[in-house]
């Protein structure tokens, strides 16, 4: 278990700003190191299929994660290790899913970033971009029917996903229903290899909000303090009943689309521009400047994180792989309606 991280789950309720910032920073740190571990395992051939990192997007992801309560709804996407941890995902669930462990939440049936626990409001993404937003709407819609108030649902996506029909339908639906939805768009300038000028033609993605009748927020996605403030405000607006909120964060992913991709299509001058600055560094600078913490403490957290991650990986490597003979090979909950069982 990722005791330290999990126990420090903020539930969005922490009194002082510095506590919330420190919590968010620790999730960023844990996520960065966890991602690096997955990349190492991938290169060693220890992971089946792809590995998708959130390098450069941790500040934005952690910012949404720490502003959600455990009773909220969260549909993260491929670059949200930080947000997932902040929402309460134990590190071992991430490791088990990547390693295909039978003991993980997906039991080896699904892998890598396709993980979650719907019963806890933590929705497991399907690959089809844009498709999770209306599912978040549905949870919020049902809760409203049941008279549950004060909750929000967040969905994360990249700018590429804003071109899908599903995005359009779901954002419009949320607006019509005035649902407390927060859409967090990480505009990392490339969807896989496709640059923004081949993805959309509006001057600013935040302009889209006007057309849907929802509120928009723009932020520099690698600026930790700004992400915390802007995302926090968007969540608060949604929670207070102001309907869906669209957050558009400009940043760069500091890695390939997946670990198989060297991202050679990202021009060097873009990497060297302010857009390409690493949010981890900016966050650390911010915390030190504000004297919220010191370098020694950060070093301690770092080694704690490394130890926890190494422990989790070591544990999962000893765990049994899924057994095809123990599978019931039915996709239905109603077993007697299932075909093809032997």
Partner 1 sequence: MSITYLEAIREAQAHALRDDPRVFIYGQDVGAFGGAFKATKNLQKEFPGRVLDSPISEDAMVGLAVGAAIEGMRPIIEMQFADFSTVGFNQIVNQASTLFWRTNVPCPITVRLPFGGTSGSGPFHSQCIEAIYAHYPGLVVLTPATVEDAYSMLLGAVAVNDPVIFCEHKFLYYHLKAEKLPSEALPIGKARIAREGRDLTIVTYSAMVHEALVAATELATEGWEIEVVDLRSIKPLDTDTVMASVARTGRLLCVGEAWPWGGVTAEVIARVTSEGYGLLDAPPQRLNAKDTPVPYHPNLWAAHRPTSRSVAAAARNLLRT
User: Which residues contact partner 1 (rule: CB under 8 A)?
Assistant: 105-106, 109-110, 114, 116-119, 123-124, 126-128, 131-143, 145-146, 165-166, 169-170, 172-173, 176, 330-334, 336-339
198 binds ligand TPP (CB under 6 A): no
Provide the residue count of the chain.
342
- 249 pairs with which residues across the strands? 186, 219
The residue to which tokens 């900016």 are assigned: 282
C-beta of 122 vs 190, nearer to partner 1: 122
What is the rounded (10 degree) CA torsion for 190, 98, 55, 127?
20
Instruction: Report in angstroms the alpha-carbon separations of 285 from 27, 58, 275, 280.
Output: 16, 15, 17, 9
164 binds ligand TPP (CB under 6 A): yes
**Reading across the β-sheet that carries 153-158, which strands appear in turn?**
73-75, 153-158, 181-187, 245-250, 215-220
Query: Read out DSSP for 134-145?
Result: HHHHHHHHHHHH
- Looking at beta carbons, which residue is closest to ligand TPP? 158
Between CA 36 and CA 80 the distance in angstroms is 14
Between CA 115 and CA 118 the distance in angstroms is 9
Binders in 229-258 for ligand TPP, by CB under 6 A: 257
265 binds ligand TPP (CB under 6 A): no
C-beta of 143 vs 257, nearer to ligand TPP: 257
Identify which range of 37-45, 185-193, 202-210, 280-288 contacts ligand TPP by CB under 6 A.
185-193
Identify which range of 153-161, 212-220, 282-290, 334-342 contacts ligand TPP by CB under 6 A.
153-161
Question: Minimum CB separation from partner 1 for residue 250, in Å?
Answer: 27
How far is C-alpha 270 from the chain's CA centre?
24
Question: Minimum CB separation from ligand TPP for residue 193, in Å?
Answer: 9
Contact flags string 89-108 toward ligand TPP, x per CB under 6 A: --------------------
169 binds, among ligand TPP, partner 1, none (CB under 5 to 8 A by kind): partner 1
192 binds, among ligand TPP, partner 1, none (CB under 5 to 8 A by kind): ligand TPP
Helix axes 279-289, 295-318, angle to 10 degrees: 140
The only residue of 61, 101, 134, 188 in contact with ligand TPP, by rule CB under 6 A: 188
Helix axes 224-239, 279-289, angle to 10 degrees: 90
Q: What is the DSSP letter of 32?
A: H
Residues ≥6 apart with Cβ < 8 Å to 325: none
6 binds, among partner 1, ligand TPP, none (CB under 5 to 8 A by kind): none
79 binds ligand TPP (CB under 6 A): yes
Which stretches of the chain bind ligand TPP, using CB under 6 A?
79, 127-129, 157-161, 164, 186, 188, 190-192, 257
């Amino acid at each position: 278990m990722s005791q330290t991280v999990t126990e420090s789950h903020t539930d969005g309720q922490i009194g002082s700003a510095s506590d919330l910032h420190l919590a968010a920073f620790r999730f960023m740190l844990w996520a960065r190191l966890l991602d690096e571990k997955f990349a190492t395992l991938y290169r060693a051939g220890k992971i089946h299929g792809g590995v998708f990192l959130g390098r450069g997007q941790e500040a934005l992801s952690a910012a949404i994660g720490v502003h959600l309560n455990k009773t909220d709804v969260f549909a993260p996407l491929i670059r949200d290790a930080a947000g997932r941890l902040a929402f309460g995902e134990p590190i071992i669930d991430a490791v088990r899913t990547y390693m295909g462990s039978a003991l993980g939440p997906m039991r080896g049936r699904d892998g890598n970033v396709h993980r979650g626990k719907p019963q806890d409001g933590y929705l497991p993404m399907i690959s089809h971009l844009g498709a999770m937003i209306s599912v978040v709407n549905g949870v919020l819609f049902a809760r409203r029917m049941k008279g549950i108030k004060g909750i929000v649902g967040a969905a994360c996506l990249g700018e590429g996903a804003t071109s899908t029909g599903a995005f359009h339908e779901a954002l419009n639906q949320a607006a019509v229903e005035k649902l407390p939805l927060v859409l967090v768009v990480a505009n990392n300038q490339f969807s896989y290899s496709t640059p923004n000028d081949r993805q959309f033609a509006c001057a600013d993605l935040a302009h889209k909000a006007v057309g849907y009748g929802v509120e928009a927020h723009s932020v520099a996605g690698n600026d930790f303090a700004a992400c915390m403030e802007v995302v926090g405000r968007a969540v608060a607006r949604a929670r207070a009943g102001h309907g869906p909120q669209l957050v558009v964060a400009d940043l760069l992913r500091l890695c390939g689309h997946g670990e198989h991709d060297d991202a050679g299509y990202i021009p060097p001058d873009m990497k060297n521009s302010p857009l390409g600055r690493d949010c981890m560094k900016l966050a650390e600078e911010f915390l030190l400047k504000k004297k919220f913490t010191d370098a020694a403490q950060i070093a301690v957290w770092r080694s704690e994180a490394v130890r926890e991650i190494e422990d989790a990986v070591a544990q999962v490597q000893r765990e049994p792989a899924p057994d095809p003979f123990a599978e019931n090979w039915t996709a239905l909950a109603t077993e007697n309606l299932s075909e093809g069982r032997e």
